[in-house]
Amino acid sequence: MFRIIKELDIKFMEIRKIPLILSSLLLAVSILSIVIKGFNFGIDFSSGYIVQLKFDNKVTVIDVQDKLSKNNLTDSTVQLYGSSKEILIKLKDEEIFKKTNINNYLKKIFNDTSFKITKLEYVGAQVGSELREKGEWAMLIALFSILIYIALRFELIYGLGAISALIHDVIITLGFFSFFNLTFDLSVLAAVLAVIGYSLNDSIVVFDRIRENNIILRKLSIFAVLNKSINQTLSRTLVTSFTTMLVIISLLIFGGNAVENFSIAMLVGILIGTYSSIFIASTSLSYFGIKRPEEN
Amino acid sequence: MYKYPTWKYILVLLVLSYAVIYSLPNFYNTYPSIQVNTFDKKEVDSLNLQQLSEDNKISNIGIDGNNLFFNSIDDQLNAYNKLIKLPSYQFTLSNYNHIPKWLSTINANPVSLGLDLKGGVHFLLQIDSDNVKKSRFTQLENNLRNFFIDNGIRYNTFFTDADSVTFKLNKDSIDPEVLDTLNENFSDYQITTLKSEGGMDISATLSQESFQNDIKASMKKNLAILRSRVNELGVSQPIIQQQGKNRIIVQLPGLQDSTRAKTILGSTATLEFRLTRGSPDDWSQSEAIGTNTISESLLYRHKNGSPVLLSRDVIASGKDIEGANSGFDGQTNQPAVFVNLSSYGASNMLDTTSKNIGNRMAVVFVEQDKNQVINIATIREAFSKRFQITGLDLQEAKDLAILLRSGSLSAPMTIVEERTVGPSLGSENIISGRDSMLLGMILVILFMFIYYKKFGLIANIALIFNILIITATLALFQATLTLSGIAGIVLTVGMAVDANVLIYERIREEILNGNSPNASIISGYNKAFSTISDANITTLIAAIALLTIGTGVVKGFAVTLVIGILSSMFTAIVGTRALVSFIYENKNNKGLSI
């Protein structure tokens, strides 16, 4: 038997103040960043154009920026993308594109070099705000239906515990994107929702064991039950997080730019999710006042 | 040891063979291809492919029936751009693969790839509701005006606001009988009267329901028009469908450049035929002084920028055109559009041209508020139904013919969302998706083997079958695989082993507690069962919430995640259990390799 984790008896309950302080700090920073700084929304949730151009010859960012601003496209960001022949341009939804479509306008701007449009994404203002609204709804519906399921399957107190861990994970993941000014687009939303599912999966496994031990180990104190349950499931928690981490890292390496933000969100979410299912979900049960069976 | 039921073994075998057979078509190579439709039953060979491939350095063009297939997308597009210049053929960008017949007959096809993987254009178009309302009100104004004139009612003025048209009458009363007829004739509207200073206001208000019906009718017509336009763009398996009340999704796989599609789809362009007024001198003079020197004339601009005076009367316009084709003028060999007029348009045209031999007629290209004279020609003889228009380049002639054939949109449609991925980026995305999946799988498989030995191998077999089940299910239901879908599969790979990890950790605990190997296996599986189902059902709830967002990226991810969760539950609870039972059942096991 090859085991990373041998018989363990970590006193999680006795040190529960430490993760509590750490999480409070992380949550405070995240919430402050979200409120004050907000998100760097991608065009999915704001509106505008993203165009990826592949030139036959080398180009420089300054040169491209110069040409754009000469053609009244001042509010743009330009970056090299992959090679020195490819660039990515972000543009606002300019009035001029209603008259001349953007494809022809770009051909006019870069008429001295030949290029191909490898990617073009446009989201109109109305569609952007609709997508954002739908995203918020999906998140709320997911949280709520999960709360109901756990409350039915376990007891309400477990539902509250799982949801606190979940909200903790989601806020910190969102805070990470806000704090580091990473682009928040549809794929990141998908990742956040996946993290909701994942983090829950983790908490449920521990809760399941707590429920079981709470009945079997009648002689122990509730703290001892919680400690033992976390310790018993610790190797599973770490093994699963590790395998998931392996594939996300390979997505980051080979997945290309299109899934980069997705992978980052998943990576952060799973790290936080693993931490919270060990240190937050179960300890929160003690704060919510979990009872022994005979006390019921 | 407890005997594992035979029906469960059979179930596992059935699912396995389903997974293998339906994922099989994905292992055959798919080539970018061009479908050739000949109008005059010529053989494909006569396209002179040898020449084409030598001229353009295209290696190996394969032929199967009317499919030409290529080694790369660049070759395909290169050839396509050359081929579409040939008249009397129609070419469609497509994909080709050599799947054996028996697979196709049982409906086993490769997974259909999303536009981000095979390249193409996605548009979301929205109908201009204001325009629908505007044209409805213009009609209403005319009808009301005629009604008042017919009934001898005088009015001072009328105006239109958000949802009603109001006429200000001179008199402060109206004959009740006339009011009844008015109500009857305009039953779609709510008619209200209001006494005002020195007269009376009569308003007709458009009900929301009736306006929605207008939108519905316009959408229906536009959908049909877009369909016929898309069919002319030469892509295989385009998707055109209504979304919500006022939007239409158009997806054009394989298209490399959205420019032309954009010009054609949203276009409200049509033609008008008018006689010119005055001479070129009058035209430039009128422009210089700013007023028209000829009465009853309108100032237009030629494509080359010069001014033209045209008659106010339209001889024929887009709605009189029944058919249009592009081709070449027989004498000058210039690109031309051949137009067929309806009988009403044709008699008008005959009437006008026979009276105006020697005069000039202009063809005006009309698009929303933009008018442009594309051609002015002297009428040499009277003509009616069929004639040709020159003065355009080949592409313009082709596009105009498409627009005239499909008819004009009943209300303008604007693009509110576009996602275009070039085919080369698409194949890059496939490669990055495949590579990340392979690396992820290899890492997980290695880890599982090192950590759980023989049981790790069993979990790995389950993992591979998981991927096959997901692939087969995607293919069978013709769900679209996108890059985010691949991300979903990759994530499933990581999470799929979770169910096995839960079981194995339980078995280990049981062994450490001193239980016999066989008893440990049984109680490991049994005790892990409720945990696995609780954990997976909650994840499933989150995935279904994702599905409700229903938009491209998120949906693609959610679909594979849902299938992945279900299949990983099956492979762990039933699949590996069967394998474990098969190996360890009825044996006196001394220890387990776990």
Mean pLDDT of chain B: 85
- Residues A138, A84: one domain? no
| One-character DSSP codes across B217-267 | HHHHHHHHHHHHHHHTS-BSS-EEEEETTTEEEEEEET-S-HHHHHHHHS-
Residue A8 lies in a domain: no
Assigned domain for A2 exists = no
Check whether residue B576 and residue B433 sit in a common domain: yes
Please check whether residue B337 is in contact with residue B404, taking contact to mean a CB–CB distance below 8 angstroms. Answer: yes
Residue B150 lies in a domain: yes
For residue B257, the chain A residues in CB contact (below 8 A) are: 103, 117
Which has the closest alpha carbon to B587: B526, B522, B517?
B517
Nearest-neighbour CA in chain B from A152: distance (Å) = 11
Residue B335 has pLDDT above 80, yes or no: yes
Highest mean pLDDT among A212-226, B44-58, B439-453: B439-453
- Closest residue of chain A to B594, computed from CA coordinates: A1
**Is position B490 within any domain?**
yes
Does A296 have pLDDT greater than 50? no
**A92 shares its domain with A28:** no
The reply to whether A38 and A56 lie within a common domain is: no
Question: Residue B264: what residue type?
Answer: I
Same structural domain for residues B89 and B75?
Answer: yes
Q: What CATH number should be reported for the domain holding residue B293?
A: 3.30.1360.200
What number of CA atoms fall less than 13 Å from residue B67's CA on the CB side?
Answer: 14
Its domain, for residue A116, covers 48-123
Q: pLDDT tens, B94-145?
A: 888 888 888 888 888 888 888 888 889 999 999 998 888 888 888 888 888 8
Residue A4 domain flag:
no
Which of B551, B559, B566 has the most A C-beta neighbours within 10 Å, making it the best mutation to test the interface with A? B551
**Which of residues A91, A123, A155 is at a domain's end?**
A123
Is B564 found in the same domain as B466? yes
For the stretch B265-314, pLDDT in tens is 888 888 889 999 888 888 888 888 888 888 788 889 888 888 999 988 88
The pLDDT value recorded for residue B227 is 92
Cα B438 to Cα B515: distance, rounded to the nearest angstrom = 38
Using an 8 Å CB-CB cutoff, list chain A residues near B116: 258
Q: Is residue B144 part of a domain?
A: yes
Q: Which two tokens stand for residue A259?
A: 């899934």
Q: Do B257 and A103 touch (CB under 8 A)?
A: yes
Q: Are residues B90 and B55 in the same domain?
A: yes
Question: Between B435, B444, B501, which is nearest A254 by CB?
Answer: B435
Sheet containing strand B270-275, strands side by side: B316-317, B270-275, B360-367, B370-378
Among A123, A147, A182, give the residue marking a domain's end: A123
Q: How far is A256 from chain B (nearest CA, A)?
A: 6
Looking at the fold, whether B433 and B499 belong to one and the same domain comes out as yes
Asked whether residue B401 falls in the same domain as residue B461, the answer is no
Residue in B116, B511, B553 closest to A186 by CB: B553
Task: Give domain status of residue A97, yes or no.
Answer: yes
In a domain, B441, yes or no: yes
Regarding whether B437 and B328 lie in a shared domain, the answer is no
A250 and A116 within one domain:
no
In a domain, A11, yes or no: no
Asked if B535 and A149 come within 8 Å (Cβ–Cβ), the reply is no
Q: Looking at this predicted complex, what is its ipTM?
A: 0.87
Across the A/B interface, how many CB contacts are shorter than 8 Å?
231
pLDDT confidence of residue A268 = 95
Q: What is the CATH number of the domain that holds B140?
A: 3.90.1070
Looking at the fold, whether B359 and B386 belong to one and the same domain comes out as: yes
CA B128 to mean position of chain CA atoms: 18
Average pLDDT over residues B229-233: 87
Per the structure block, which two tokens stand in for B551? 């938009």
User: In terms of domains, do B331 and B374 share one?
Assistant: yes
CB half-sphere exposure, B363, CA atoms < 13 A: 21
Same domain? For A162 and A143 the reply is yes
Give the residue-averaged pLDDT of B198-207.
85
Closest to A90 in 3D by CA, of A113, A61, A115: A61
Q: A231 and A93, same structural domain?
A: no
A35, A70: one domain: no
Q: Do B443 and A246 touch (CB under 8 A)?
A: yes
Question: Could you tell me the CA-to-CA distances from B254 to A53, B56, B63, B95, B420 in Å, in that order?
Answer: 18, 20, 19, 9, 10
pLDDT at B46 > cutoff 70: no
Is B546 close to A52, i.e. CB distance below 8 A? Answer: no
Give residues with Cβ within 8 angstroms of B315, minimum separation 6: B273, B274, B275, B348, B349, B352, B361
Q: Do B539 and A197 touch (CB under 8 A)?
A: yes
Nearest Cβ partner of A186 from B511, B545, B551? B551
Instruction: Give dist(CA A23, CA B566) in Å, integer.
Output: 34
Query: With an 8 Å Cβ cutoff, are B535 and A204 in contact?
Result: yes
| Total count of domains within chain B | 4
Cβ of residue A238 closer than 8 Å to a chain B Cβ: no
Specify whether B397 is located in the same domain as B462.
Answer: no
Question: Which residue in B77, B417, B452 has the most chain A C-beta atoms within 10 A of its own C-beta, making it the best mutation to test that interface?
Answer: B417
SS (H, E, C) chain A: CCCCCCCCCCCCCCCCHHHHHHHHHHHHHHHHHHHHHCCEECCCCCCEEEEEEEECCCCCHHHHHHHHHHCCCCCEEEEEECEEEEEEEEECCCCHHHHCCHHHHHHHHCCCCCEEEEEEEEECHHHHHHHHHHHHHHHHHHHHHHHHHHHHHCCHHHHHHHHHHHHHHHHHHHHHHHHCCCEECHHHHHHHHHHHHHHHHHHHHHHHHHHHHHHHCCCCCHHHHHHHHHHHHHHHHHHHHHHHHHHHHHHHHHCCHHHHHHHHHHHHHHHHHHHHHHHCHHHHHHHHCCCCHHHC
In chain B, the residue whose alpha carbon lies closest to the alpha carbon of A51 is B420
Q: Is residue B177 part of a domain?
A: yes
Q: Are A133 and A208 found together in one domain? A: yes
Q: How far is A198 from chain B (nearest CA, A)?
A: 6
Sheet holding B67-69, edge to edge: B62-64, B67-69, B30-38, B89-97
Each residue of B348-397: pLDDT tens digit? Answer: 899 999 999 989 999 998 887 678 898 898 888 888 888 888 888 888 88
User: Which of A70, A98, A123 is the last residue before a domain boundary?
Assistant: A123
- Domain shared by A289 and A194, yes or no: yes
Residue among B563, B441, B537 nearest B494 (CA): B441
Q: Is A255 in the same domain as A287?
A: yes
Q: How confident is the model at residue B514 (pLDDT cuts 50, 70, 90)?
A: confident
Q: What residues of chain A lie within 8 A of the CB of B514, using their CB?
A: none
**B106 belongs to a structural domain:** no
Domain annotation covers residue B221 = no
Taking only residues 163 to 202 of chain A, the set having a beta carbon closer than 8 angstroms to any beta carbon of chain B reads: 185-187, 189-190, 193-194, 196-198, 200-201
* A239 reaches B (C-beta below 8 A): yes
Q: Which residue of A has its CA nearest to B445?
A: A243
Domain identity same for B39 and B13: no
Nearest C-alpha in A relative to B498? A240
Residues A66 and A160 in one domain: no
Neighbours of A83 (CB within 10 A): 10
**Ramachandran sector of residue B155 (left: φ over 0; alpha: ψ -120 to 50; beta: rest):** beta
Structural domain of B55: 30-98
Nearest-CA distance A275 → chain B (Å): 17
d(CA B358, CA B80): 44
- With 0-12 / 13-18 / 19 or more C-beta atoms within 10 angstroms meaning exposed / middle / buried, residue B161 is exposed
Measured in angstroms, the CA of A129 and the nearest CA of chain B are apart by 12
The residue among B209, B235, B253 that closes a domain is B209
Q: Do B436 and A251 touch (CB under 8 A)?
A: yes
Among residues B172, B136, B140, the alpha carbon closest in space to that of B153 is found at B172
- Of A104, A122, A236, nearest to B417 by CB-CB distance is A122
Tell which A residues from 94 to 123 touch B, by Cβ distance under 8 Å: 101, 103-104, 116-123
A262 interface with B at CB cutoff 8 Å: yes
Neighbour count for residue B457 (Cβ, 10 Å):
15
Condensed to tens digits (0 to 9), the pLDDT of residues B50-102 reads 777 777 777 777 777 778 888 887 788 888 877 777 766 778 888 888 888 88
- Examine the domain organization and report whether A156 and A226 are in the same domain: yes
Residues B402, B324, single domain; the answer is yes
A140-177 pLDDT, tens digit per residue, is: 887 788 778 888 888 888 888 888 898 999 999 999 99
Least confident of A244-248, A291-295, B586-590: A291-295
- Tens-place pLDDT, residues A172-204: 999 999 999 999 988 888 788 778 878 888 888
Chosen from A6, A108, A150, A251 to mutate, greatest number of chain B CBs within 10 A: A251
Q: Of the ranges B80-89, B150-159, B440-449, which one carries the lowest mean pLDDT score?
A: B80-89
Question: Which residue of B lies nearest to A239 if distances are taken between CA atoms?
Answer: B501
Domain membership of residue B253 (yes or no) is: no
Closest to A40 in 3D by CA, of A173, A179, A182, A180: A182
Cβ <8 Å between A242 and B447: yes
Q: How many domains does chain A have?
A: 2
Which of B575, B590, B593, B587 has its CA nearest to residue B500?
A: B575
pLDDT of residue B551: 65
Is some CB atom of chain B closer than 8 A to the CB atom of A266?
A: yes
> Chain B residue closest to A135 (CA)?
B549
pLDDT at A109 over 60: yes
A209 interfacial to chain B (CB closer than 8 Å) = yes
pLDDT tens, position by position, A209-220? 998 898 888 888
Do B561 and A194 lie within an 8 Å CB cutoff? Answer: yes
